[in-house]
Amino acid sequence: MVTIGQARRELSEIAKNFTVEALCSGSAARSVEAALNMTDREGQRASPLDPKLMMWLVLCLPIFRSDSIPAVLTRLLSGLRDLFTTLSLRPVDDDAIAHARRVLGVAPVREFFRTEAREIHPAPSFHGFRVWSIDGSTLTLPDTPENRRVFDLPKTSRGRCGFPRLKMVALQDVVSHGFRDVAFRKWKASEREAAVPLLKHLEEGDLALLDRGFYGFRFFQAIRAQKSHFLVRVPSYVKLKPVRGTSKKSGDYLAWIQGKVALPEGQSIQGRRGPPATHVGVRMLVRVIEYQIRGFERVRLITSLLDPEISAREWVLEYHRRWEIEISLDEMKTHQSSTAQGTPRTIFRSRTPRNVMQEAYALAASYNLIRGTIAEAAERHRLEPDKISFVNSVRAISHMLPRMRGARAHDLPSLQTQLLLDIAEALIDRPRRPRAYPRVVKVKMSNYKLKRPHHHQSCVDFRTTIRIGA
């Protein structure tokens, strides 16, 4: 029988140099150490749950969402039992894991994500431009008093949602599907305002694809300040007048868009009437493209890139690549963070705001690790990354994880080669087809009453309440 002290000593020995080799095809192992050193977590007091082990545990939580946190730790340790024959699958209790998560905090996980994201350098894919996409989504959290107080419950026409929500806005490389940066805000925050800090990553030669929710003159100016360009869908309420010499009937014309910008602090302009103005009107020349797909409404696009060599048809086709980020958000929320039947259907499992944010950065970081492995497999086997199934790639990584964890060092290169081959063979069995679905739901509403705080569990002894007959 293994004593508690022996189990803790074995875990302490393992945790000092712990890695998850199936996710370390790039520089992930070095990034974990760098993140821990930068946030001064390596200097913590000795514990069986070393910060390095906890970092990998937190990064794997979104990959094994249907498992409990102790069960995920068991997955990570199970492959080591051939090397440590007396290693227990439950070497510490649940409270120790929860305490180690709190000690680790948010900063190391956030720093790890940012360190790895710096390695995303997309190749030009549209007339010499590197193409990015920006979009947002909401992530559900467990309904606890702490999460309600910090993140709040979204309002609906029938009251409020069942779970608190966190808004995520992301900047993504449309080729590799890697997230260059993410911003987390409360559910009611403006996606456009949340995306402004992400624009610092844009450079000259970049093109940003935007949905109509990001239409805004100041936002466009911020993109142009980075010497980058944008392609955005225009909301129906916006009026665009062709400049002289261009025709609206052609569906491809030039127009001015206008807005106001603040003057430098302390400066103002005195008009003929009223107080001095602190803002001045400016305008920007854009190219407008109008098109319609049979069965759908008419769409207008504008772009700050006025190059006449790029045809209107090319712009329309390029805009539809914006759906790549929608697909990625679906992969992250529906497939990577899917839950087993009978468990709460929330993206995160954390019951406190601090752990929610830790898990949020882990979600983005683990998605990038998976996408990086897919990109490496695609490059080695001369495939396009979007031809490889994300779901089957996650399964291949999950199957290889315990084998690589328990392998000797000299066997790891061959197992890594096998993993990349498994991923390369995980091709999408049903390639994308020209299809469309109406936006409808199966069940519109329920006849049950709305759940209130007083609706909680009660204990009833049914044997004493049975009545037979009148």
DSSP code for 200: G
- Between CA 432 and CA 429 the distance in angstroms is 10
Domain total of the chain: 2
- Between CA 31 and CA 361 the distance in angstroms is 14
Residue 444 within any structural domain of the chain = no
Phi then psi dihedrals of residue 9, to 5 deg: -65, -40
Q: For the chain, give the mean pLDDT.
A: 86
Q: Are 34 and 173 found together in one domain?
A: no
Q: What is the pLDDT of residue 10?
A: 64
- Interior CA angle at 111 toward 105 and 114, to 5°? 140
Residue 442 within any structural domain of the chain = no
Of all residues in the chain, the percent with pLDDT exceeding 90 is 53
Please say which residue of 296, 330, 364 terminates a domain. Answer: 330
Q: Are 321 and 394 found together in one domain?
A: no
Model confidence over 317-362: pLDDT tens digits? 999 999 899 999 999 888 888 766 555 678 999 999 999 999 999 9
State the DSSP string of 370-387.
HHHHHHHHHHHTT--GGG
State the DSSP string of 274-322.
SSPBSEEEEEEEEEEEEE--TTS--EEEEES---TTS-HHHHHHHHGGG
Closest CA to 304 of 232, 386, 383, 403: 232
pTM of the full structure: 0.88
Please say which residue of 261, 296, 330 terminates a domain. Answer: 330
Residue 271 within any structural domain of the chain = yes
**What value does the mean pLDDT take over residues 430-448?**
70
3-state secondary structure 419-456: HHHHHHHCECCCCCCCCCCCCCCCCCCCCCCCCCCCCC
Q: What is the pLDDT of residue 129?
A: 97
CA distances from 270 to 230, 260, 264, 448 (A): 34, 16, 15, 62
Q: What is the pLDDT of residue 81?
A: 72
Of all residues in the chain, the percent with pLDDT exceeding 70 is 87
For residues 249-282, one letter each, b for 16 or more C-beta atoms within 10 angstroms of the residue's C-beta and e for the rest, the string is eeebbbbebeeeeeeeeeeeeeeeeeeeeeeeee
Say yes or no to pLDDT of 385 above 50. yes
Residue 2 banded pLDDT, cuts 50, 70, 90: very low
Place of tokens 């360009």: 229
Q: Are 280 and 364 found together in one domain?
A: no
Which of the two residues, 270 and 307, has the higher pLDDT score?
307
- 141 neighbors 163 (Cβ within 8 angstroms): yes
Q: Is 156 helix (H, G, I), strand (E, B) or coil?
A: strand
- 138 neighbors 173 (Cβ within 8 angstroms): no
Model confidence over 26-71: pLDDT tens digits? 788 899 999 998 887 655 556 678 888 899 999 999 999 888 899 9
Q: Are 152 and 286 found together in one domain?
A: yes
Say yes or no to pLDDT of 442 above 80. no
Q: Are 304 and 159 found together in one domain?
A: yes
Residue 251 within any structural domain of the chain = yes
Place of tokens 């606890």: 144
Q: Are 108 and 217 found together in one domain?
A: no
Residue 385 within any structural domain of the chain = yes
Model confidence over 79-129: pLDDT tens digits? 777 766 667 777 788 898 999 999 999 999 999 999 999 999 999 999 999
Q: What is the pLDDT of residue 155?
A: 80
Model confidence over 287-312: pLDDT tens digits? 999 999 887 889 999 999 999 999 99
Q: Are 48 and 138 found together in one domain?
A: no
Q: Are 91 and 129 found together in one domain?
A: no
Q: What is the pLDDT of residue 201?
A: 97
Residue 461 within any structural domain of the chain = no
Residue 439 banded pLDDT, cuts 50, 70, 90: confident
CA distances from 141 to 128, 145, 148, 154, 341 (A): 41, 11, 9, 12, 17
- 117 neighbors 178 (Cβ within 8 angstroms): yes
Q: Are 318 and 178 found together in one domain?
A: yes
Q: Are 275 and 411 found together in one domain?
A: no
Which of the two residues, 125 and 6, has the higher pLDDT score?
125
Q: What is the CA radius of gyration of the chain?
A: 26
Q: Are 170 and 257 found together in one domain?
A: yes
Say yes or no to pLDDT of 11 above 70. no
- Between CA 112 and CA 31 the distance in angstroms is 6
**What value does the mean pLDDT take over residues 219-224?**
95
Give the domain range for residue 229.
122-330
DSSP code for 17: T
Residue 267 within any structural domain of the chain = yes
Q: Are 149 and 77 found together in one domain?
A: no
Residue 47 within any structural domain of the chain = yes
